């Protein structure tokens, strides 16, 4: 019978890349889910502040505080209607937050590219 000393090394070399891709994929999924929940929370907080009649500066400040764990350079904010004067009682204010997240897994990131997350929250102005 021949020696089988290198069998474990070959099996490890075949399985290790699959396990690493799976591990990094789970990490990427967690990062995307965290960013999604953060955008959802920030949208709700900002829409509530806008619904009670706050200035745009206060709304943007609330968004920045709620999304402090995200890269602010990749975050796009849109408040509709644009000015406080046009947000009268009874109309709806819409806060739209868009964030692009880059994946860490090399093989998956080249196939999929960055993931664009968008959150839209609508509240009636009081």
- Using CA atoms, how far apart are residues 44 and 42, in angstroms rounded to an integer? 5
What is the predicted pLDDT for the residue at 123?
93
Query: Each residue of 70-104: pLDDT tens digit?
Result: 999 999 999 988 877 778 888 999 999 999 999 98
What total number of domains does the chain contain?
Answer: 1
Q: Which range marks the domain in which residue 41 is found?
A: 7-124
- CB 50, CB 93: distance < 8 Å: yes
What is the predicted pLDDT for the residue at 3?
67
1 domain-assigned = no
Whether the predicted pLDDT of 107 surpasses 90: no
CATH assignment at residue 101? 3.30.1300
Q: Which residues contact 57 (CB under 8 A, 6 or more apart)?
A: none
- CB 42, CB 63: distance < 8 Å: yes
Confidence label for 121 from pLDDT (cuts 50, 70 and 90) = very high
Residue 89 vs residues 39, 43, 86: alpha-carbon distances, Å: 26, 20, 9
DSSP-assigned letter for residue 86: G
What is the predicted pLDDT for the residue at 61?
94
What is the predicted pLDDT for the residue at 1?
54
Query: Each residue of 35-78: pLDDT tens digit?
Result: 999 999 999 999 999 999 888 899 999 999 999 999 999 999 99
Q: How far is CA 48 from the centre of its chain?
A: 20
Over range 24-45, report the average pLDDT.
Answer: 95
2 domain-assigned = no
- CB 40, CB 119: distance < 8 Å: yes
């Amino acid at each position: 019978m021949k020696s089988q000393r290198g069998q474990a090394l070959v099996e490890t070399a075949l399985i290790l890349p699959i396990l690493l891709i799976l591990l990094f994929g789970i990490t990427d999924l967690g990062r995307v889910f965290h960013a999604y929940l953060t955008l959802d929370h920030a949208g709700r907080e900002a829409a509530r502040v806008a619904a009670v009649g706050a200035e745009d500066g206060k709304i943007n400040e609330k968004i920045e505080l709620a999304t402090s764990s995200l890269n602010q350079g990749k975050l796009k904010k849109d408040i509709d209607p644009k000015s406080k004067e046009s947000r009268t009682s009874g109309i709806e204010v819409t806060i739209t937050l868009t964030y692009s997240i880059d994946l860490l897994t090399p093989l998956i990131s080249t196939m999929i590219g960055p993931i664009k997350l968008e959150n839209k929250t609508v509240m009636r102005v009081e």
